[in-house]
Structure 1
Amino acid sequence: MLVYGVGEKMTRRFAGIVVGSQTVVVFLGALVAWAIAKSQDNAAHTAYLVVGLVLAVLCVVASGTLRRTWGVTLGWLVEVASVLAGFVLPMMFVVGLVFLALWVTALVQGRKMDALTAHRQEQDTA
């Protein structure tokens, strides 16, 4: 499984779709955490919003940097941070684990598709 480096075309596409769509969920989770904390007069409500927005921006950055060697590593960090957000908003444990599973699936299946594509291209040129 890819942890560092640049994946092939389909790996990048699948991983980019997963992290890109995660942006919306993380953003909405940040708003929910902020609203709940504010309604309970929790002084950390602004910090929840800021950290959630930073995580959402990191999702977009990770999606756009998958062609760089550190892009996949950033994607892994975003996935771990999304799961850890469950300590603030418990439902984010579920959401984070779902997106982590999608991320792993994208990396594994993307590599398989890239290998099949390369094999097919070798057959066509032979």
Structure 2
Amino acid sequence: MSGLPLYGRQGRLTFRLLAVALGGQAVVLFFFALVARALAVADSRPADGDRLLWVGVGLAVLALLGAGLMRRPVGITVGWLVQALTWASALLVTAMVGVAVVFTAVWVLLLVQGLRADALVARHEAQAAGSTTPGAD
């Protein structure tokens, strides 16, 4: 493997794994946005709370969009963008570093393992197609 892809169609298993990862990340990002808003309001910063809420909800929606686009070549690019923006959100809420570490690790792990699994499936399909000859019962 030459490196992690940033754009392009992925195999059947890879795009499914990555879509599940982004879906789970979207749920966590949404709830984290609610917590960040509540903490800001508790600190008497309601304007910051509203901003944090909308930034978090926007990031969660982008993650869901990326999960839906995972079958298309741009899907993996959107997924990487979600990972980068999750890291950038740590500038607003420091605790997002933990979320970013966990989900970036899951993203990379599922990407690597999905690529390996797709290559293995393709190899088995090629072997199966090569071993079956028509009329040889």
TM tier, smaller = over 0.9
Counterpart position of 2:64: 60
Cα distance in 2, alignment partners of residues 85 and 8 from structure 1: 30
Counterpart position of 2:128: 124
Residue-by-residue CA offset, 1:15-43 (whole Å, 9 max, x unaligned): 01110111111001101110011111123
Unaligned 5+ runs, structure 2: 131-137
Counterpart position of 1:96: 100
Alpha-carbon shift at residue 106 of structure 1 (Å): 1.2
Cα distance in 2, alignment partners of residues 122 and 2 from structure 1: 23
Root-mean-square deviation over aligned CA pairs: 0.9
Counterpart position of 2:135: none
**Structure 1 letter corresponding to 2:8:** G
Alpha-carbon shift at residue 107 of structure 1 (Å): 1.1
Counterpart position of 1:76: 80
Contact 1:6 1:68 in 2 (8 A): yes
Alpha-carbon shift at residue 78 of structure 1 (Å): 0.4
Larger radius of gyration: 2
1:1-126 aligned at under 5 Å gives the runs 1-42=4-45, 43-126=47-130
Paired residues in the alignment total 126
Contact 1:33 1:88 in 2 (8 A): no
Give the alignment's TM-score, normalised by structure 1.
0.96
Cα distance in 1, alignment partners of residues 108 and 102 from structure 2: 10
**Structure 2 letter corresponding to 1:82:** T
Cα distance in 2, alignment partners of residues 91 and 104 from structure 1: 21
Give the alignment's TM-score, normalised by structure 2.
0.88
Runs of 4+ in 1 over 4 A off after TM superposition: none
**Structure 2 letter corresponding to 1:4:** Y
Residue-by-residue CA offset, 1:25-70 (whole Å, 9 max, x unaligned): 1001101110011111123111110111011111110000011221
Unaligned 5+ runs, structure 1: none
